[in-house]
Amino acid sequence: MTITEVSERLDISQDTLRYYERIGLIPRVNRNKSGNRDYTEEDCKWIEFIKCMRGAGLTIEVLIEYVALFQRGDETIEARKELFIEQRKQLIARIEDMKETLERLDYKIAIYEQSIVEKEKTLTYTKVLPEAGQLSNLYRQK
């Protein structure tokens, strides 16, 4: 596969593909006779895996370490496992954090919903704008 094909297939820019290879985030890709990259399915799996992990917030640094361990062979299996266990721990923490933030967003949306309903009621039934100091404070929660 050419870099153009892989780039389109995995939706990663050619520059990023080259960059990832350069810094050791994916193993070196073979070149054809004319020196151009010729990606295998294996290469694609690596790239896709890296993309997935990056998307979840694993740093490039830690992923480079993983690739380096992988390339050193079987003696690093335990180290790789430990690396993933640590990253898993951090990922779980991030997810928990985000869930809490989501609840907070939900709450704010609910309050705004309420505020709008209240405002509409006021406008519809009393034809009078709410006093600046009263109702307005209601809308101004954080």
Residues of this chain that interact with its own copies (CB under 8 A) are: 42, 45-46, 49, 52-53, 55-57, 70, 73-74, 77-78, 80-81, 84-85, 87-88, 91-92, 94-95, 97-102, 104-106, 108-109, 112-113, 115-116, 119, 136, 139-140, 142
How many angstroms separate the Cα of 81 from the Cα of each of 51, 70, 91, 117?
19, 11, 15, 53
Q: Distance (Å, rounded) from C-alpha 112 to C-alpha 89?
A: 35
8: partner contacted, choices DNA, its own copies, none (Cβ within 5-8 A by kind): none
3 binds DNA (CB under 7 A): yes
2 binds DNA (CB under 7 A): yes
In the numeric block, the tokens 């609910």 are attached to 110
The beta strand positions in the chain, using DSSP E, are: none
104: partner contacted, choices its own copies, DNA, none (Cβ within 5-8 A by kind): its own copies
In the numeric block, the tokens 């062979």 are attached to 73
53 binds DNA (CB under 7 A): no
Handedness of CA 77, 80, 86, 88 (dihedral sign): negative
40 binds DNA (CB under 7 A): no
- Shortest reach from residue 141's CB to DNA, in Å: 23
Taking residue 142's Cβ as centre, other Cβ atoms within 10 Å add up to 4
- Shortest reach from residue 113's CB to its own copies, in Å: 7
